[in-house]
Amino acid sequence: MTKQKSNEENIKLFGISNQMAELDLHRIESKFNIDLGRNKKAIKKDNIYYPQFDLAVRKEAQEMAKNYEVFYCLEKAIRSLIIEEMESAEGENWWEKAPQVVKDEVKKRMDIEKDAGVTIRSSEPIDYTTFGELGEIIKSNWSVFGDIFNSKKAVQKVMNNLNTLRGPIAHCSLLAEDEVVRLQITVRDWFRLME
């Protein structure tokens, strides 16, 4: 046997041994539901990855991220709709037509954020509203929104449901399976209000 052939065989044996070790590590991770940090896809430059966090909590967070994405998109869409319709009807100073209780609560939140010394999320007051408050803006300006939505009471009900469902998502609690279904139905209800 030549020296070159011996080196090639050693390299092949090393590769096979490495593959077998990877398979064994994969079986251990699966059997004990642990993460040994071998998944390079999980560690991207643009992702924050803390292997110190419990694997079960990280998996829960990944599952909850889907619900957060729905809320984020829906809340942004509702705010955009309100801004567009109110500016069209009332002009740039449309915020004056928001209920006083909503304006007061928003001002408190804006002041708290400003006084905390952090980067403020927005200069627009509407970005500090809750789903319930967005519903109040719509309800109190029904002359603007009555042609868009088919029922004032239904808008209030859907917005209240969204405000309630938002709690577990915003405060890092697992959303129960039934509540995930309720979220999906409530989002459909929102779009149905505009049919």
> Is there a single domain that holds both residue 82 and residue 174?
yes
pLDDT given at position 47: 59
> Is there a single domain that holds both residue 118 and residue 44?
no
Amino acid at position 182, single letter: R
> Is there a single domain that holds both residue 99 and residue 48?
no
Retrieve residue 82's tokens.
């309100």
Burial of residue 163, with CB atoms counted within 10 A of its CB: 0-12 exposed, 13-18 middle, 19 or more buried: middle
Cβ contacts of residue 114 below 8 Å, gap of 6+?
A: 120
Q: Quick check: 99 and 137 in contact, CB under 8 A?
A: yes
pLDDT given at position 127: 96
> Is there a single domain that holds both residue 85 and residue 119?
yes
Cβ contacts of residue 183 below 8 Å, gap of 6+?
A: 67, 70, 165, 175
Retrieve residue 125's tokens.
């007051």
| pLDDT surpassing 90 at residue 99 | yes
Q: Quick check: 186 and 158 in contact, CB under 8 A?
A: yes
Across the range 140-162, mean pLDDT stands at 94
- CA 139/CA 64 separation, integer angstroms: 31
Q: Quick check: 158 and 193 in contact, CB under 8 A?
A: yes
Domain of 3, in residue numbers? 1-52
The confidence band for 12, taking pLDDT boundaries of 50, 70 and 90, is: confident
- CA 195/CA 177 separation, integer angstroms: 28
pLDDT given at position 53: 80
| pLDDT surpassing 60 at residue 11 | yes
pLDDT given at position 159: 92
> Is there a single domain that holds both residue 170 and residue 107?
yes
Q: What is the pLDDT of residues 154-184, one digit of tens each?
A: 999 999 999 899 888 888 888 889 999 999 9
> Is there a single domain that holds both residue 88 and residue 23?
no
Nearest CA-CA partner of 131 in 141, 143, 139, 120: 139
pLDDT given at position 26: 77
Q: What is the pTM of this model?
A: 0.74
> Is there a single domain that holds both residue 109 and residue 170?
yes
Higher pLDDT, 9 or 192: 192
Kindly state the percentage of the chain with pLDDT values over 90: 58
The domain total for the chain is 2
Q: What is the pLDDT of residues 24-83, one digit of tens each?
A: 777 887 787 777 766 655 545 555 667 778 878 888 888 899 999 999 999 999 999 999
> Is there a single domain that holds both residue 42 and residue 85?
no
